[in-house]
Amino acid sequence: MKMVIAFIISACFLYAGCCQSKGWSKTEKIEKVAFQTGGFFLYADDWENPNQCSKDNAVVLLDTDRNYDKAYSLLLTAYASGKKVTGYSDGCVNFDGQTYNTIRGFKYLIVE
């Protein structure tokens, strides 16, 4: 019985740890951009994948982000001028059966 309880507790900790992933994206030059329902996609060859989403070739600025208009403007300018972008991701979002890292528009968004 103790083994079963220990296993259940261990499984709970492992599950909680895998679902709380967060992290910085690697500084990347945006190769292309696209609008999809619910977000603005930023494509680059080598984004980090801190949340272990199924796709790592794009990050998504969600249109529900409270600074979406400002972040969108900043990111579009970065793309048009060939600058590099770094951001912070704290989750995945599902689009067309694939998951992508989200990028925050209200905090930790850096253009270099």
Domain boundaries, the chain: 22-111
Query: Residue 80: what pLDDT?
Result: 96
DSSP structure string for the chain:
-HHHHHHHHHHHHHHHHHHT--EEPPPEE--EEEEETTEEEEE-S----TT--S--SEEEEETTSTTHHHHHHHHHHHHHHT-EEE-EE--EEEETTEEEEE--SSSS-EE-
Residues 46-65: pLDDT tens digits? 888 999 999 999 999 999 99
Identify the CATH assignment for 22-111 out of 1.10.3470, 3.40.50, 2.40.50, 3.30.500.
2.40.50
pLDDT tens profile 33-47: 999 888 999 999 888
Between these two residues, 27 and 58, which has the higher pLDDT value? Answer: 58
Q: Is 80 exceeded by the pLDDT of residue 9?
A: no
Flag whether pLDDT at 6 surpasses 60: no
